Chains A and B, each alone.
Chain A
C-alpha cells in the first residue's frame, strides 16, 4: 500500500507572532519556521505503518515557496521515500490546496492520505475534509489511534464529548491529532540520506485547477490586550478578591 502525506511550512509553534503595523499580516522575516506540528504526527504515523510492513511507499508533498521544500526534506529524513514540491509563491486557501492535492492524488494513486488536522497559522481545519470530499473518499478527522486492516482503517477520533471510533474503507483521508503518536527526530545519517532522495517539482498554477482565493483578507490586527493583573499574597486574599472585588464566586 502507498501513503501520501501532506506537510505545510508554518511559523514555528514557539514563536510569539507579531502583527504588522500596516495591518497586512504578520511578520515572517527572520522568523523561525518549521513543519506544522500535527503534520509531523501524520508523517510519523505513515512511517510506523511502513515499519509494520503493510505499507510499501510513503510520498511526502508540500505546497509553497522554495523554502517549503525543507518540510519535505524533514519528512524524507524520518522515513518518507520521495517528495513532491508544488511551487507557489503566494498564499493559497485550503480550497485551492485541496484541489492541488487532488491532482497529486490522481497521479500518485495512494491508498491513504495523512495530513495534520489543522495548520497552526491560519487555523482553518479544512484541507483534509475538502480533499476527501473532492475525491469522494471517506475521512477520519482528529485521529488519535489508527489501526490498518486489509481494506479499511479503524480510527479513534477525539471529539468534544470524548472519543469516537469509526471504520473507513480504503482509500481514505486521515487528519491527525497531536496525540496520535510521538514524532521521532531525524538522525544525522538519515538527514544526510534524505538529501539524496528525489523531490519532484510541480508548479501550482500549471496544474489546471482554479486556485484563485475567494476570501479576501482586509486586515490583520492584534487582539485586545488584557489589563495587567495583580499578585496576591496568599489564598485568603485571593478568595476575598474573587468574592468582594471581582464578585465571581
Chain B
C-alpha cells in the first residue's frame, strides 16, 4: 500500500495546499511518494524532500510540464501509477483539472473533495454545496482521491530528507497549448490560507466601494473574499470568490459584509471558526450562521469598524 501524491507548485516554490494534501495522504498510508513534475523545478523537488512525511520524491523535469497542462500531466501520472494504491491531489483548480483524466485512464471512479479519511477506502465528502456529508467506500483497486485542503492541517515542512528519484517524461499529445496566466498579485495573505477573511457582496454596490473592505483587510492582515454576485457584477476578480464553485475557506474569523448568504456562498465559508455578518437586512440568511451579527448600513458601519480597530492597542497578526 502506498500513495502517489501530485505536488502543486510554480516551478520555484511548492504551493502550500500540497502540504495539506500530504497530511491527508498520511491518514491513508504512511508510504507517501510525491511527484514533482515541472520545468526547472529542482528546488521544488528539494523542498518536498524535506517534508518529514514524504518517503520519496519522483522528480520529472521537462518543458512539457511547465504549465501543468492536464493533457500532458495526466499521462505521466498514469504511467507511474502502477506501484500505487492511491493517487492523491488537492481538490483545487489544479487537482480538479487533471485528476479525472488520470482516473478515466485507470478506469477508476474518483472520490472528489474529501474532508475526512476514515480508512484507506472510506472517505467523507460534502455534497449539495456542503448541506449533506456523504460517507463513501471506494471498491476500486486503485483509488484516485482529491482532498479539500482546508479540511486538513498542513504537514510540517522541514526535518525530512527523502530520496529524490529522477523519472522520465512521457510523450505528450500536442493538442493543447498554454497561452498565458494572469495572476492577481497581492501583498495580502492568500485567501485559501488566511487567518482572517473579509468578504464583500452585492451590498458594496461598486468596485470602488470595495476599498471599504480592503482597508479593513489591511488593518487586520486579512485576505479579501467576495460573493459570486460581487464577482459577476465586476466589483472584484474571480480569484476572490468564496463558495460552492469558488474557494472554500476556513479562517479563524470570517467577516461577511453586504452578503445575503445564499447557500452557494455558505458552502464556501460556514466552517469558519467565527463568523461576523454585517448587513442592513436583518432577515438575511447570513445571520442564521453568524456568531456575531450587526444589522447596519455597511457604508456607515465599515468606516466605524476601521476607526474602532485603530483604537485598539494591539491586533493579532
Q: Which residues of A contact B (CB under 8 A)?
A: 11, 13, 16-17, 19, 26, 38, 93-95, 98, 117-118, 120-134, 136-142, 144, 154, 157-169, 172, 177-179, 213-223, 226-232, 234-236, 238-239, 241-243, 246, 248-249
Contacts and interface: CB of A to CB of B under 8 A. Distances in A.
A129 B91 CA distance: 14
Given A130-B100, A230-B292, A154 B179 contact: yes
Nearest 9 interchain pairs by C-beta: A129-B100, A214-B109, A133-B101, A138-B176, A133-B104, A130-B104, A165-B179, A229-B291, A126-B100
B81 interface: no
B250 to A, nearest CB: 13
Contacts of B129: 120, 123
12 contacts: A128-B100, A158-B93, A159-B239, A160-B93, A164-B180, A168-B177, A215-B139, A219-B135, A220-B127, A229-B289, A246-B274, A248-B196
Chain B interface, DSSP helix/strand/loop, else mixed: mixed
A218 B182 CA distance: 42
Contacts of A243: 312
A229 B293 contact: yes
B15 to A, nearest CB: 9
Contact of B228 (A118, A124, A136, A178): A178
Interface string B113-134: 1000000001001111111111
Interface of B: 69-71, 74, 92-94, 96-105, 107-113, 122, 125-140, 173, 175-184, 192, 196, 220, 228, 231-232, 237-239, 244-245, 247, 252-253, 263-264, 270, 273-276, 282, 287-296, 301, 304-305, 308-309, 312, 315-316
Contacts of A26: 128, 132
B232 A179 contact: yes
A223 B132 contact: yes
Contact of A215 (B97, B136, B196, B292): B136
A44 to B, nearest CB: 15
Contacts of B312: 239, 243, 249
A162 B183 contact: yes
A13 B264 contact: yes
A120 B244 contact: yes
Contacts of B239: 158-162
